[in-house]
Amino acid sequence: MIARLIIALLALTAGLTVQAQTTPALGTKKPEAAAETPTTEKKPTVAGAATVEDEAPVITPFRPFTLPVTKNTRTFQLSKLNKPAATETTKELQRLFSAYAQQSIIDGSPTGFSKATGYLATINYSILQDLGDKRFLVKAAWPAAGPNDGLAAGVDTMAILLLDHPIKVGEIGHCTGMHVGTVSLLFTASFPPLTGKRLTLRREAFVECNTLEESPAGLQKFVDKIMHGAEVSVTTNEMITCKKCGGLGFTSEKVKGSLTEKHINCSACDGAKSVALPTETKIIP
């Protein structure tokens, strides 16, 4: 569906698995602690010959991106917009559009944009090493993204980044990146103090992309797309009253030998009186 995205994803999966393949490990969001420490691999040699190991970088999927799980579904009907007693208001439409813009990328489709398959985040990076084919090992920082911070924040963290434009080692920059999961990288380092060492790292992987413009023109294009039959849904965190404490922020416990009760901070909402419910909103004409 998304020509540019398909090419990028293929580059991070099939096109990059030169010699090795790994079995995706599912069920956890973060790599094991051991994965955070680079491991040096010995280069096998043959008597009277040079290194027999291929020095080219090998990138293979380790843990694919998983979509967020929504627990509630609702609809937003454009034909009810701003009508009496309707919850469909201009302000709510703008909020949903803003959320959709952060979950969508511009591509070559007739509508001009489509839903991304990963969390989008603003990435500040410094290029450590050029891995070829516009793939780079970078030192990066990005904020937590997605419902319930599905993508944990990165601070001064190594990552793999697929960029759309040429850039030199040592340069710094920022871009909007789409998280495509964790990959295993086998490469020979060319930066100190690891220069010349063959390493295996497990890193978060991102693809540079362009997001939908948040503007009146972008909102109108968004509405027109829906009115012409496009199926659009937005995932948001909706705050609802905590059921465990009934919105009080605490639970009560009887005190032995006393008529009074002891108030205990609610464990479900931590005293906030409300909790976030991952919700998929379908927007219809």
Instruction: Give the pLDDT score at 111.
Output: 65
**pLDDT, tens only, 141-176:** 999 987 667 889 999 999 999 998 889 999 999 999
Query: Where does the pLDDT of residue 26 fall: very low under 50, low under 70, confident under 90, or very high at 90 and above?
Result: very low
Query: Where does the pLDDT of residue 17 fall: very low under 50, low under 70, confident under 90, or very high at 90 and above?
Result: very low
Cβ-in-10-Å burial (0-12, 13-18, 19+) of 97 comes to: buried
| CA dist list (Å): 26 to 93, 206, 252 | 35, 19, 39
Instruction: Give the pLDDT score at 212.
Output: 83
Same-domain pairing of 134 and 275: no
Per the domain annotation, does 52 fall within a domain?
no
CA dihedral 212, 214, 220, 224 (to 10 degrees): 30
Closest CA to 128 of 152, 160, 155, 154: 160
Residue 111 is classified by DSSP as T
Quote the domain boundaries for residue 191.
Answer: 117-208
| CA dist list (Å): 160 to 2, 128, 154, 165, 181 | 21, 10, 12, 15, 10
Same-domain pairing of 247 and 275: yes
Number of structural domains in the chain: 2
